[in-house]
Structure 1
Amino acid sequence: MRLAFAFLLIGLVAACGRGVPEGARLVVAGDSVMAWNRTQDASVARNLSRLLGQPVGDVSLPFASVTGSTGRGALNITEQVSDLSPRWVVMNGGANDLRVGCSGPDTRGTLDTLISEDGRSGAIPRMVSGLRVRGSNVLWADYYTSPRFAGTTCGRIYDEMAARTERMAAADPGIVFVDMGDVVPFSNGALFARDQIHPSVEGSARIARQIAEALRAADPALTR
């Protein structure tokens, strides 16, 4: 009960500061990796806003899932982006569908529900396709490996999800794929919060710098 209450409290606090400023050409969506450090004004979205010199929307929320397995509304990443059509949506997702530690009774079946082996079907491609149809470009930020799951079966499941989402991105020039593990290696404990899962303030800053560089390369006019 105490743990559930703690999760609820974290979620309520992290929800503060969510929203999309008028005229924002960039919106961040997804789960706690994106939302973490928001209360310290140091989330991925806040760092992106400073790096790119423009307002950045943020609809991400801890415990959010792609399929809505953790809840409706903002806890469903598909619903987070259902009415969005900015120039770019930066997003992640899937971890809470797979559950912490990949502890679901059918983890591989969940992965297949999220995204097929060829990256062309499943909940993630449908969600991204909806954004593309509305004219948005998408930057998909693949998960880093956290110290708690490095070398585990769960880590291998995430590696497979990364390969599938990278195939999805390769099939559409309007989708950019970045691997957060390139800038947040599990061997550097300073880049992780105390839970050894979420990013520290510096971890979020590194992720934002990586994303900003990828956006500048893909769309030089974005910062004009």
Structure 2
Amino acid sequence: MAWNRGGGGSVADGLERRLGEPVGDVSLSFARLVGGGGALNIPSQLNGVAADWVVLNGGANDLSGSGCGCRVCDSVLDRLISESGTRGAIPELVAELRRRGSRVVWLDYYTAPRYAGTICVAPYRILEERLDRMAAADPGVIVLDLDSVFRSDDLSLFARDRVHPSQRGSGRIADLVAPVLIR
């Protein structure tokens, strides 16, 4: 979510332009849901945040930094979100935000060119299925699939690392999210 902030092209920057009102942004690159020290822990980033809507994602850094090598990620996935979508760091964070009165938009990951066609795609598909189960149980939670606006073969949507979004990619994310926030 924080990628492209330096150039005024982050997702939050795009949402602010599309909505015509201020959008807060507490995201930091390389943060994790489980672990990550201080501000690099996503739940810590959201301490004290109470807003009508909270837009977030997470889990990729947990999976990629876990050493599972995209092969045996079951324990990491389970720590993030259980198969039922009811337990783990993600449902706990979402439940806390909901207790504060926020509605939540969770952005599921797109397939990055760096990982397209590899076994690394499978853990993210499992994460998506679990997120969908979580959202189905709460009308105040919406999961948006970024693969609906990203194609891994369109390199213009990606930064040079072929993982994070380019400014154009961040704009596509903002385009997907903005209509949900003005309902």
Q: What TM-score does the superposition give when structure 1 sets the normalisation length?
A: 0.78
Q: Which letter maps to 1:160?
A: I
8 Å CA contact 2:31, 2:41 repeated in 1: yes
Which piece of structure 1 moves more, 200-209 or 92-101? 92-101
1:55 paired residue among 22, 41, 52 = 22
> Structure 1 pair 106/90, CA: closer, same or farther in 2 (3 Å)?
same
| 1:19 alignment counterpart | none
Letter in 1 for 2:12: A
Residue segments in structure 1 that go unaligned for 5+ positions in a row: 1-33
Equivalent of 1:161, from 109, 112, 127? 127
- Counterpart contact for 1:116–1:164, Cα < 8 Å: yes
- Please state whether the residue corresponding to 1:206 is helix, strand or coil: helix
Provide the rounded CA distance (Å) in 2 between the counterparts of 1:153 and 1:213: 33
Aligned with residue 109 of structure 2, among 108, 123, 143: 143
How far did residue 215 of structure 1 move?
2.0
Q: What percentage of residue pairs aligned between the two structures are identical?
A: 53
Contact 2:70 2:119 in 1 (8 A): no
Match of 1:184 in 2: 150
The match for 1:45 among 5, 8, 12 is: 12
Equivalent pairs, count: 182
**DSSP 3-state at the match of 1:138:** strand
Larger helix fraction of residues? 1
SS in 2 for 1:139: strand
Judge conservation of contact 1:102–1:154 (CA < 8 Å) in 2. no
Residue of 56, 68, 74 corresponding to 2:39: 74
Local SS of the residue matching 2:14: helix
* 1:58 partner SS: coil
Larger radius of gyration: 1
Shift of 1:151: 1.8
In structure 2, distance between residues paired with 1:197 and 1:210: 19
The 2-side partners of 1:56 and 1:172 are apart by 24
Runs of 4 or more, structure 1, over 4 Å off, are: none
Listed as ranges, the gaps of 5+ residues in structure 2 are: none
